[in-house]
Amino acid sequence: MRYESEHKAKIREQILKEAAKAIRINGPEKVSVAGVMSQAGLTHGGFYAHFASKEALIEAAIGQMFDQSMARWDRDNQDLNAREQLAGYIDFYLSPWHRDNPSQGCPVAVLLTEAPRMTPPCRTAFAQGIGRLRGMVIGQLREMGVEKPETAAVALSAELMGTLSLARCEPDPAKSDALLVEAKKRIMAQLALH
């Protein structure tokens, strides 16, 4: 019995991993249950043993996306102080790699324009995820002694997400790179992180 529940949990995690990847690549609207199950190496028929609906899958996958981001943050920043953590976050966020790999990047940048069209439960999962990320940034800013860290975190998040979105839209690679570099320099200088 224990093996069965562990196996079911493992299968569910695999489905969520593939759904999160599909959402990052195509957006939640274009996620298909059959496609996700196929990518997970499973048949479509087994889906309902794990999720009640496609909406439930997307809601859980959005949570999974934020879990992955937070786990990466925790893993990469264990031995760093707040300044180093925030500088690393900004450096990663405005990197060519992050721009070019949305399937592995920040869920906010991918879902921001999709959120208004998502169902209320999915928007709630998205808002909770944003709250977790913002809380992480607020903690770093507070530890650095930044005045009004809540306000600064909102402004920083908006600038990072906006810059990344514009860089992803720019068809000229040199202009896209320049946008990332210039924004990164300005943000690092503004927060005295260089």
List the Cα angle 90/192/139 in 5-degree steps: 60
What mean pLDDT do residues 70-77 have?
86
Dist CA 164 CA 185 (whole Å): 14
Residue 53 tokens read as 């609906």
Comparing C-alpha atoms, which of 101, 104, 111 is closest to residue 167?
101
Domain ranges for the chain, please list them. Answer: 54-193
Dist CA 83 CA 89 (whole Å): 10
Dist CA 104 CA 33 (whole Å): 20
**pLDDT reading at 186 higher than 90:** yes
Dist CA 71 CA 127 (whole Å): 18
Predicted pLDDT at 105 = 86
What mean pLDDT do residues 86-109 have?
93
Residue 2's pLDDT band (cuts 50, 70, 90): low
Q: Which percentage of the chain shows pLDDT scores above 70? A: 98
What mean pLDDT do residues 20-24 have?
92
**pLDDT reading at 194 higher than 80:** no
Residue 122 tokens read as 């999915």
Q: Which fold has domain 54-193?
A: Tetracycline Repressor; domain 2 (1.10.357)
Dist CA 136 CA 70 (whole Å): 9
Residue 44's pLDDT band (cuts 50, 70, 90): confident
Residue 116 tokens read as 């208004």
What mean pLDDT do residues 26-31 have?
91
Q: What is the pLDDT of residues 129-185, one digit of tens each?
A: 999 999 999 999 999 999 999 999 999 999 999 999 999 999 999 999 999 999 999
Cβ atoms of residues 155 and 139 within 8 Å: no
- The whole-chain average pLDDT of the chain stands at 93
Predicted pLDDT at 136 = 93
Dist CA 127 CA 132 (whole Å): 9
Judging by beta carbons within 10 Å of its beta carbon (0-12, 13-18, 19+), is residue 167 exposed, middle or buried? buried
Residue 96's pLDDT band (cuts 50, 70, 90): very high
